[in-house]
Amino acid sequence: MDRRTAPGCLIALLCACGGEDRPAAQPTSAPPAPATDQPAPAAAPSADNPCAIPGPLTIELEAGVIQKTPWGLELTYAIEEDEKRNQSRFVFLMKSGTRRWEVRRDDSNWTEKMTWRGFCWRGGARPERRASRLQLEMAPVCQDGKLVELGGCGSALGS
């Protein structure tokens, strides 16, 4: 394979063989909770209003497996070897509707904040060189309860 076609093949591999969404774990049967006068818990963040719960989430990904966030974004990653520098990089593919974005992360930019479509994200705990599982921190960038697509991360992920 020619080095010029390798990145395209990597993305094609991610799309074609990325795996399906994993089924959710089956809940264990538990007795129903007694009725109380306490208010119901807040609703989970959703694609309809990502700013309903703007706090950051830690998302765990497995290489080649598409993971859907509570906000409707699809994420996956692959490992790319850079033979010239003798290092591995993580190639992330993000999708929202018909929009797609690809970005590479390595030791030099792992914890750098990036935004895409109003969501701020960065690498979580630093993974091993060829980690098959890793974590990302992600949060919607909100102002006055609405998603803000431009202008960076602000305080969405804290410091």
pLDDT in tens, 9-28: 444 444 444 444 444 444 44
User: 14-35 b/e with 16+ CB inside 10 Å = b?
Assistant: beeebeeeeeeeeeeeeeeeee
The CATH number that applies at residue 62 is 2.60.98
Count structural domains, the chain.
Answer: 1
Are 17 and 64 in contact by the 8 Å Cβ rule? The answer is yes
pTM of the predicted protein model = 0.66
Residue 67 lies in a domain: yes
* 80 pLDDT tier (thresholds 50, 70, 90): very high
Q: Please give the structure tokens belonging to residue 152.
A: 């960076």
Residue 33 lies in a domain: no
Cα 13-19-9 angle, rounded to 5 deg: 5
Q: What is the dihedral of CA 149, 153, 156, 159, to 10 degrees?
A: 180
Residue 28 lies in a domain: no
Q: Which of 145, 21, 25 is nearest to 72 (CA)?
A: 21
Q: What is the pLDDT of residue 157?
A: 85
Q: Which domain, by its residues, includes 76? A: 45-159
Residue 2 lies in a domain: no
Identify the weakest region by mean pLDDT among 72-76, 88-92, 128-132.
Answer: 128-132
pLDDT tens profile 106-148: 888 999 999 998 999 999 988 988 899 999 999 999 988 898 8
Write the DSSP string, 46-83.
-SS-GGGS-S-EEEEEETT--EE-TTS-EEEEEEEEET
| Choice between 59 and 43, residue whose per-residue pLDDT is larger | 59
Say whether pLDDT at 45 is over 80: no
Segment 97-112 mean pLDDT: 92
| Choice between 52 and 133, residue whose per-residue pLDDT is larger | 133
Q: What is the pLDDT of residue 137?
A: 94
Residue 94 lies in a domain: yes
Phi-psi label, residue 54: left if phi above 0, alpha if psi -120 to 50, beta otherwise:
alpha
Q: What is the pLDDT of residue 39?
A: 41
Q: What is the pLDDT of residue 86?
A: 80
| CA 159/CA 113 separation, integer angstroms | 10
Q: What is the pLDDT of residue 52?
A: 86
Percent of the chain surpassing pLDDT 70: 69
Residue 88 lies in a domain: yes
Q: What is the pLDDT of residue 17?
A: 44
